[in-house]
């Protein structure tokens, strides 16, 4: 039983490491603001078009940053959930043998 739990813990750590290597992005205003994050929801980069920045007011910039950030986080969440569901199926399949012993 402890072997199965240890394997599940190892699998979770592998997933976390893999999610750190997957990049997702969110954009606002057709790419004028772009946010890049990992699938673990860590923001890595924010890019703002210099021409847009010179003409934008504070409220507009803040609003568009929120839009781009939320898009990146939503994409990261989707990938994370998909990875966890796949791992859960693998783990549950392995645990099935635990109860049949």
* pTM (global) more than 0.85: no
The yes or no reply on domain 17-96 and CATH 3.30.1310.10 is yes
Residues 34-79 pLDDT 10s:
999 999 999 999 999 999 999 999 999 999 999 999 999 999 999 9
The domain limits of the chain are 17-96
Instruction: Say which residues have a Cβ less than 8 Å from residue 25's Cβ, sequence separation at least 6.
Output: 34, 35, 36, 37, 71, 72, 75
DSSP per-residue string spanning 61-100: HHHHHHHHHHHHHHHHHHHHHHHHHHHHHHHHHHHHHHHT
**pLDDT (0 to 100) of residue 46:** 98
The predicted pLDDT at position 51 comes to 96
Rounded to the nearest integer, the mean pLDDT of the chain is: 88
pLDDT digit string, tens, across residues 38-50: 999 999 999 999 9
């Amino acid at each position: 039983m402890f072997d199965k739990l240890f394997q599940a813990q190892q699998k979770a750590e592998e997933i976390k490491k893999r999610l750190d290597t997957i990049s997702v992005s969110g954009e606002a205003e057709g790419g004028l603001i772009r946010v890049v994050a990992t699938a673990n929801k860590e923001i890595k980069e924010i890019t703002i078009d210099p021409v847009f920045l010179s003409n934008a007011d504070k409220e507009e910039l803040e609003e568009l940053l929120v839009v781009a950030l939320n898009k990146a986080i939503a994409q990261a969440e989707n990938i994370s959930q998909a990875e966890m569901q796949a791992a859960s199926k693998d783990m549950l399949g392995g645990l099935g043998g635990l109860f049949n012993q």
